[in-house]
Amino acid sequence: MATKTKVSEHSVAPPPVTTSYQDAHEAHGDHDHGHDDHGPLMHHFDDMVQQRESITIGMWTFLMTEIMMFSGLFFCYAFFRWKFHDAFMLGSQQLDINLGTGNTFVLLASSMTMAMAVHCAQIGDRKKLVAYMIGTLIFGGAFLGIKGIEWSADYHEGMVPHFQAFGSRGNWDETGQTWRTSHHAHEAGLKAGPTPEGYVWDYKHKKPVKSEEVKMYFMLYFCMTGLHAIHMVAGALILLVMILMAMNGHFGNGNDQPIEIFGLYWHFVDIVWVFLFPLLYLIAGFHPGGH
Amino acid sequence: MVSTPAEGLGLSSRPAEEVPAAQGLTPQGETINYLNATTGIRSWLFTLDHKRIAMLYLISVSLMFIVGGTAAGMVRIDLLDPQGFLISPETYNKMFSAHGIVMVFFFIIPAIPAILGNFFVPMMIGAKDLAFPKINLFSWYLYIVGALLVLGALASGGVATGWTFYAPLSSQYTTGPIVFVALGVFVAGFSSILTGLNFIITVHKMRAPGMTWFRLPLFVWGMYATSLLQILGTPVVAITILLLAVEIVFKAGVFDATKGGDPVLFQHLFWFYSHPAVYIMILPGMAIISEVIACFSRKPVFGYRFIAFSSMAIAILSFLVWGHHMFTTDQSPLSAIVFSIISFLVAIPSAIKVFNWTATLYKGSVRLNTPMIYALGFIGLFTIGGLTGLYLSSLATDIHLQDTYFVVAHFHYVMVGSTVMAYMAGIHYWWPKMTGRMYPEGWGRTAAVTLFVGFSLTFMPQFIAGYCGMPRRYAMYDPEYHVMNVLSTAGATVMALGYILPVFYLLWSLKWGERAGPNPWRATGLEWQCPSPPTTFNFDKTPIVTIGPYAYSAEDDEIQDARLDMERAEMEFAAARAKIAADRERMQLEEGHSPENEAVIAQAVTGNAKSADATGATGKENPYGN
């Protein structure tokens, strides 16, 4: 058995079998699957083509389940936006459009570096591969950092329903039921009209809007960006592991598929943001941002 | 010596199976198979073998079935008295909730796909394993985590929401560890998604050469359709349950009408998954029945393509009918009408299946083995369950029947009467393949009939009580329904017996059952070409498929019967010869040689040989060249 393994390791097709079955482990115990020329062929596949195609379709199918998962939230968003149109406009105006736009570009940049990483993996340029993956990680981290800053500002300005935070611009009152003022609109010289209990004043359209409805916007905003951020964090962690693996010599010699598969995931998470950004930040048209 | 296990089939079977050369022996002298290839607890907990993972599922799903069944038993016993006498009304609510949650999410959804599908989809298509063995194992761990979360929550007080978790009941009006239950269901949902994903890729990419789509066994088609539902529906309920958790923890108000939210939105999101989930439960059952009916009628399935496509049609339609759970909500009349019409449409593919199975039976040489009794029970009960579904999908009658025991009886006819019967049929049909042992046929038939009788006695009265207006989910009821409830509980007792019996004789068969041989049912299909139990990699060589899945024919059976009869006669003849030789030797030893003795012996030999010739043919005369 040992001699057989040696032979297949160096010259002959099919490529060496690596498997996690115990008996097979004994047979191929110390065979390092990272360094052969075609990547490891798992025992239950007939050939590399079958394996590659299976894994690729597997990832696309997984992404389909992800789409269905996000679609539940998008449906809620569509429903409530239809129901509470004015409140959603008002809520959208409270977001910091500069941070949102900046983050969009940061994330698109990360997608570009990821695409470059996939290309480098395919041509076997491991140095550039590692560099581009680190770039992707930095951009991804920057996105999460900016998102964190934005959330923290949201929190301090009292835009997080349920938590009673007090900040500069507006906040929920003590009961958590009514959202009071828009500091920014005050500065812009807009005047509030008479606001009944449980309503907030929409300065742009000069009418009161139910604060519960604005709260619904923010609830969905946090759910959607939160779920997206969870996906980003998961992606960043996987990316970190892959960078370490690449530095240890993986993925360079024809075994580029893991990079490609991860790239699919990363682009998917990007695309989700590409939908989130206009739906959350841009629906009220142009509005001055900044805290 | 291996005995003849298929006596009940009414077919002769090969007396002794040779061990395939590649199989080899363990140190204990048993043939090596997936069960004994490696030993120790680690070899099971870290296994990547789809068959072992299926066995892990079998054990864990069965344990959850016991939990859910116990809860159902408490409910039924409490209902013996109109006022309830066993448990408080609050506990009653928790009991039926526990029953529903455990049975739906931890028994019936994973049962057939994760156990039988896991075991047989790769074998049926001629693959060594599922496409992603590690994900397969991971999904089992997800199932365990989900199950532990739910069991923990049930142990620490339970929830009284029903299995549907309707808001605002679940979000505002009940206390208890509802978030943990939700989390458990969420995690188990991902187990289901990953299983479905695995099957889809496996069916697309792992088929053996020549295994075209229309040569796939209908079991695989059913699993494929199920998997589509799992990957498309389950993520939606996952996010819904997550939103419910956010609703409870952060008082989000998404489903709270007092905060501008919409409780019906929860129902829409929930049933968008949970109606397809009903088909996640029934499609695998139908998939098993197609296999069993064909095998025990000794005929190819009638209308193969129609059955295959009707599975897909059910899968697609199932995504368009969720609104029929909400006819009594504020859903608009127009959408109610549309949902009603599409719900009626589901009856078409379902009926196609039933008619095709019946047509398969027609002029078949039907053998009433245990799996077949379950399967025939399935057809009857599913027909009742399906047709009463039409009562509920028509708007006017549904207003009357909504939330009565009629609904309870209807979906139990589909989920228990159909799916669980099919599951039992499948377990019995493939038990010899999974374990290498035959169960005792007589006990099997007894259990199958017991289950059918018990089931009918349990749920037929519920139709009547429900039609008369008895509401579901109430701990107490009007005395006019007393008789029906007593009947129902009596039936449940019989049904329990029908479940307990198989546990005993199946476990018994593991040690004392007859050895099955590779193909005790003389079934077609690649899984029956492997040894029983199969080896770890199923096939020594990837099989090449040249024919469709149901190459049953009565003529072939007769030819094979004749051939096996001849083999047996030949063996008897050889035994007789050996006996004569031994006799002769003994006589020679006893009486010594003498011309007189020789003459007697010679006469005896000719006489015996002639009688042996009369009972069976000799090897040389065998026309089939054995």
Q: Does residue B277 have a pLDDT over 50? A: yes
Mean pLDDT, residues B118-141: 94
Q: Are A199 and A218 in contact (CB under 8 A)?
A: no
What's residue A174's pLDDT? 42
Q: Name residue B223's amino acid.
A: M
Q: Which of A17, A219, A220, A224 to mutate to test the interface with B (most CBs of B within 10 A)?
A: A219
pLDDT tier, B614 (very low <50, low <70, confident <90, very high otherwise): low
The CA distance from B64 to A244, in Å, is 41
pLDDT tier, A36 (very low <50, low <70, confident <90, very high otherwise): very low
**Using a CB cutoff of 8 Å and minimum separation of 24, what contacts does A132-135 make?**
A133/A239, A133/A242, A133/A243, A133/A246, A133/A259, A134/A243, A135/A110
pLDDT tier, B607 (very low <50, low <70, confident <90, very high otherwise): low
Tokens of residue B337, six digits: 């009408």
CA distances from residue A274 to A101, A138, A143, A238, B95 in whole angstroms, order as listed: 10, 19, 13, 22, 46
Q: CB distance from A53 to chain B under 8 Å?
A: yes
Tokens of residue B111, six digits: 């049962």
Of A49-63, A169-183, A188-202, B204-218, least confident by mean pLDDT is A169-183
Q: Does residue A187 have a pLDDT over 70? A: no
Please give the angle made by the CA atoms of B127, B132 and B134, to the nearest 5 degrees.
125
Of A177-186, B61-70, B151-160, least confident by mean pLDDT is A177-186
* Closest among B289, B291, B136, B287 to B224, alpha carbons compared: B287
Of A152-161, B352-361, B496-505, least confident by mean pLDDT is A152-161
3-state class (DSSP) for residue B618:
coil
How far does the CA of residue A22 sit from the closest CA of chain B (Å)? 7
The CA distance from B183 to A226, in Å, is 17
Q: CB distance from B43 to chain A under 8 Å?
A: yes
Of A35-39, A260-264, B459-463, least confident by mean pLDDT is A35-39
Residues 107-146 of B with CB under 8 A from A: 127-134
A to B CB pairs, distance under 8 Å: 120
Determine whether the interchain pair B250/A161 forms a contact, defined as Cβ–Cβ distance below 8 Å. Answer: yes
Determine whether the interchain pair B243/A210 forms a contact, defined as Cβ–Cβ distance below 8 Å. Answer: no
Provide, as residue numbers in chain A, all residues whose Cβ is less than 8 Å from the Cβ of B43: 22
Q: CB distance from B537 to chain A under 8 Å?
A: yes
Provide, as residue numbers in chain A, all residues whose Cβ is less than 8 Å from the Cβ of B260: 83-84, 210, 212-213, 215-216
A198: which DSSP letter? T
pLDDT tier, A178 (very low <50, low <70, confident <90, very high otherwise): very low
Q: Does residue A251 have a pLDDT over 90? A: no
Q: Are B566 and B626 in contact (CB under 8 A)?
A: yes
Instruction: Quickly count: other Cβ atoms within 10 Å of residue B588's Cβ.
Output: 14
CA-CA-CA-CA torsion sign (A154, A159, A161, A162): positive
Of A148-157, B51-60, B380-389, B478-487, least confident by mean pLDDT is A148-157
Q: Which residue reads 């590659």 in tokens?
A: A52
How far does the CA of residue A261 sit from the closest CA of chain B (Å)? 14
Q: CB distance from A62 to chain B under 8 Å?
A: yes
The CA distance from B181 to B187, in Å, is 10
B285: which DSSP letter? H
Instruction: Quickly count: other Cβ atoms within 10 Å of residue A148's Cβ.
Output: 11
Q: Does residue A175 have a pLDDT over 60? A: no
Q: CB distance from B264 to chain A under 8 Å?
A: no
How far does the CA of residue B228 sit from the closest CA of chain A (Å)? 10
Instruction: Quickly count: other Cβ atoms within 10 Å of residue B611's Cβ.
Output: 11
B205 vs A57, A83, A212: nearest CB: A57
Of A20-24, A135-139, B5-9, B261-265, least confident by mean pLDDT is A20-24
pLDDT tier, B537 (very low <50, low <70, confident <90, very high otherwise): confident
Contacts of B45 (CB under 8 A, 6+ apart): none
How far does the CA of residue A207 sit from the closest CA of chain B (Å)? 18
* Closest among B350, B311, B354, B170 to B254, alpha carbons compared: B170
Work out the percent of chain B whose per-residue pLDDT is above 70.
90
Q: Are A72 and B236 in contact (CB under 8 A)?
A: yes
Higher pLDDT, B27 or B338: B338
Identify the closest residue of chain B to A218 by CA–CA distance: B252
Following DSSP, what letter does each residue of B547-577 receive, concatenated?
S-S----HHHHHHHHHHHHHHHHHHHHHHHH
E strand or H helix at A208, and its extent? strand A207-210
The CA distance from B447 to B467, in Å, is 30
pLDDT tier, A19 (very low <50, low <70, confident <90, very high otherwise): very low
Q: CB distance from B3 to chain A under 8 Å?
A: no
Mean pLDDT, residues B314-323: 92
* Closest among B391, B402, B408, B392 to B459, alpha carbons compared: B408
B253 vs A22, A71, A216: nearest CB: A216
Phi, psi at residue A18, to the nearest 5°? -115, 140
Q: Which residue reads 């089992």 in tokens?
A: B140
How far does the CA of residue A63 sit from the closest CA of chain B (Å)? 10
* Closest among A107, A104, A125 to A116, alpha carbons compared: A125
Provide, as residue numbers in chain A, all residues whose Cβ is less than 8 Å from the Cβ of B204: 54, 57
* Closest among A150, A159, A152 to A106, alpha carbons compared: A150
How far does the CA of residue B385 sit from the closest CA of chain A (Å)? 30
A76 vs B38, B254, B542: nearest CB: B254
How far does the CA of residue A162 sit from the closest CA of chain B (Å)? 6
What's residue B450's pLDDT? 96
**B157 dihedral zone (left: phi>0; alpha: psi -120 to 50; beta):** left
Q: Which of B36, B48, B205 to mutate to test the interface with A (most CBs of A within 10 A)?
A: B205
Following DSSP, what letter does each residue of B3-62 receive, concatenated?
--GGGGGTS---S-PPPPTTT-B-TTSPBP-TTTSS-SHHHHHT---HHHHHHHHHHHHH
Please give the angle made by the CA atoms of B412, B414 and B416, to the nearest 5 degrees.
55
Q: Are B323 and B393 in contact (CB under 8 A)?
A: no
Q: Does residue B623 have a pLDDT over 50? A: no
Instruction: Quickly count: other Cβ atoms within 10 Å of residue A108's Cβ.
Output: 14
pLDDT tier, A22 (very low <50, low <70, confident <90, very high otherwise): very low
Q: Which residue reads 């060589």 in tokens?
A: B541
Contacts of B76 (CB under 8 A, 6+ apart): B458, B488, B489, B492
pLDDT tier, A5 (very low <50, low <70, confident <90, very high otherwise): very low
Higher pLDDT, B404 or B250: B404
The CA distance from B598 to B605, in Å, is 11
A22 vs B38, B201, B252: nearest CB: B38
Of A38-52, B90-104, B118-132, B306-320, least confident by mean pLDDT is A38-52
Higher pLDDT, B592 or B78: B78
Mean pLDDT, residues B276-297: 94
Q: How many residues appear in chain B?
A: 626
B236 vs A21, A72, A220: nearest CB: A72
* Closest among B532, B529, B558 to B543, alpha carbons compared: B529
What's residue B564's pLDDT? 87
Q: Are B321 and B328 in contact (CB under 8 A)?
A: no
Q: CB distance from A64 to chain B under 8 Å?
A: yes
Provide, as residue numbers in chain A, all residues whose Cβ is less than 8 Å from the Cβ of B331: none
Q: How far is CA A144 from the centre of its chain?
A: 9
B254 vs A53, A216, A227: nearest CB: A216
Q: Does residue B480 have a pLDDT over 70? A: yes
Determine whether the interchain pair B261/A61 forms a contact, defined as Cβ–Cβ distance below 8 Å. Answer: no
Q: Which of B41, B44, B48, B240 to mutate to test the interface with A (most CBs of A within 10 A)?
A: B48
Q: Does residue B292 have a pLDDT over 90? A: yes
Higher pLDDT, A176 or A276: A276
Q: Are A224 and A73 in contact (CB under 8 A)?
A: yes
Of A43-52, A191-200, B111-120, B313-322, least confident by mean pLDDT is A191-200
The CA distance from B242 to B224, in Å, is 27
Q: Does residue B8 have a pLDDT over 70? A: no
SS (H, E, C) B47-71: CCCHHHHHHHHHHHHHHHHHHHHHH
Identify the closest residue of chain A to B230 by CA–CA distance: A65
Q: Does residue B293 have a pLDDT over 70? A: yes
Identify the closest residue of chain B to A44 by CA–CA distance: B128
* Closest among A190, A163, A192, A188 to A180, alpha carbons compared: A192
Following DSSP, what letter does each residue of A237-266 receive, concatenated?
HHHHHHHHHHHTT-SSSS--HHHHHHHHHH
Q: CB distance from A50 to chain B under 8 Å?
A: yes
* Closest among B440, B430, B423 to B507, alpha carbons compared: B440
Identify the closest residue of chain B to A84 by CA–CA distance: B260
* Closest among B549, B476, B521, B535 to B79, alpha carbons compared: B476
Identify the closest residue of chain B to A52 by CA–CA distance: B205
* Closest among B106, B119, B19 to B63, alpha carbons compared: B106
Q: CB distance from B187 to chain A under 8 Å?
A: no
pLDDT tier, A213 (very low <50, low <70, confident <90, very high otherwise): confident
Provide, as residue numbers in chain A, all residues whose Cβ is less than 8 Å from the Cβ of B251: 161-162
Q: Which residue reads 């761990």 in tokens?
A: B141
Q: Which residue reads 């070899």 in tokens?
A: B43
The CA distance from B219 to B284, in Å, is 7
Mean pLDDT, residues A171-197: 51
Residues 5-34 of B with CB under 8 A from A: none
Mean pLDDT, residues A260-267: 95
Work out the percent of chain B whose per-residue pLDDT is above 90.
70
Q: Are B57 and B119 in contact (CB under 8 A)?
A: no
CA distances from residue B366 to A18, B3, B219, B237, B542 in whole angstroms, order as listed: 47, 24, 20, 42, 33
Q: Does residue B546 have a pLDDT over 60? A: yes
Q: Does residue A58 have a pLDDT over 90? A: yes
What's residue A153's pLDDT? 83
Provide, as residue numbers in chain B, all residues whose Cβ is less than 8 Å from the Cβ of A23: 37-38, 536
Q: Which residue reads 């939103």 in tokens?
A: B243
The CA distance from B355 to B378, in Å, is 13
Mean pLDDT rounded to a whole number for chain B: 88
Provide, as residue numbers in chain B, all residues whose Cβ is less than 8 Å from the Cβ of A25: none
Instruction: Quickly count: other Cβ atoms within 10 Å of residue B320's Cβ.
Output: 17
Provide, as residue numbers in chain A, all residues whose Cβ is less than 8 Å from the Cβ of B46: 20
Burial of B192-202, coded b for 16+ CB within 10 Å and e otherwise, reads: bbbbbbbbbbb
* Closest among B424, B390, B422, B426 to B406, alpha carbons compared: B390
Q: Which residue reads 């010679």 in tokens?
A: B602
What's residue A34's pLDDT? 39
Q: Which residue reads 């482990």 in tokens?
A: A25
* Closest among B126, B132, B180 to B156, alpha carbons compared: B180
Q: Which of A44, A45, A175 to mutate to test the interface with B (most CBs of B within 10 A)?
A: A44
B20-71 pLDDT, tens per residue? 444 567 777 778 889 888 888 888 999 999 999 999 999 999 999 999 999 9
CA distances from residue B438 to A77, B7, B487 in whole angstroms, order as listed: 56, 11, 35
Q: Does residue B4 have a pLDDT over 70? A: no
What's residue B93's pLDDT? 93
Phi, psi at residue B80, to the nearest 5°? -60, -30
